[in-house]
Copies of this chain bind each other. A is one copy, B any other.
């Protein structure tokens, strides 16, 4: 068994990687996610793409360990999806269906959990066996690695870090229907909202005023340039994120917390701010937890998917 495939299914495109079992990426490509007709073409499209690659490379089936596949939904330990928000699928037995389509062994997992596994294997968490990854994108996603394996949970919905409550007094609702979720403050949308609200509060001059797009990088850049309003926004964002991560660490007890997603493009400058608030609410045993920015960017998902089938 020399090779395997890592597949990362997204709402608009499907990323696919061909890996050696030692962790080298030999090839990677994308195909379109055809969500029409309840997403019925998604798994057949993946199977066709993999079969074409196997033919192109002249691999024999017994050289291939199998296919790991990440799905943007809760996935149970035996590869069952009950529902998806943006693929069109209802109930789907991903392991079985893709195995029948390809003749290869398959293991499906949640995409955020697999991104965490990918960072552990080839990215910012290398050498670790207990880690958390939080992905600060449009929403806030999360994955936890326990003893070298992704935590799955009874419903395939573990480590939903974005929905930890960090503000019991919030009245406005998160997309999930609850109030005070970390995602409301620490996502790309969240930090932009914190910025707009601070700017609306009074008319203190700020470099952020009049900027067309206020994202995490703009806020951190303004702070670096000495902007006091931006610094206040950074402190507020970091307090919600640091406090939320401290509560997650109290449960998972990770050696390292990896921060990924678009917001993390602001870079290492974020870390001392997040750590300061983390330490306020961290249990004494977790005080040494390291923080690192993710390294694999959009490849984390395919890497983790490959690692999952290798470890099956």
Contacts and interface: CB of A to CB of B under 8 A. Distances in A.
Interface of A: 74, 77, 128-130, 144, 146-147, 149, 151-161, 163-168, 176-178, 243, 246-248, 250-255, 280-286, 288-289
> How many copies of this chain are found per oligomer?
2
A250 B146 contact: no
A254 B154 contact: yes
Nearest to A158: B253
B157 A147 contact: no
A187 B286 CA distance: 22
B247 A284 contact: no
14 contacts: A77-B147, A130-B154, A146-B153, A147-B149, A153-B252, A154-B289, A155-B285, A159-B253, A160-B283, A160-B285, A161-B251, A163-B283, A168-B168, A178-B281
A158 B283 contact: no
Main SS class of interface, A: loop
Nearest to A129: B154
A23 B159 CA distance: 32
Contacts of A128: 154
A251 B144 contact: yes
Given A156-B253, A164-B251, A165-B247, 8 more contacts: A74-B285, A144-B251, A146-B158, A153-B253, A157-B253, A160-B285, A165-B243, A177-B284
- The 4 A-B pairs of least Cβ separation, nearest first, read A153-B253, A157-B285, A154-B255, A130-B154
Given A146-B151, A176-B284, A281-B178, A247 B156 contact: no
Nearest to A285: B157
Given A147-B152, A283-B157, A285-B160, A165 B246 contact: yes
Nearest to A132: B251
Nearest to A131: B154
A130 B76 CA distance: 12
A251 B251 contact: yes
Contacts of A155: 253, 285-286, 288
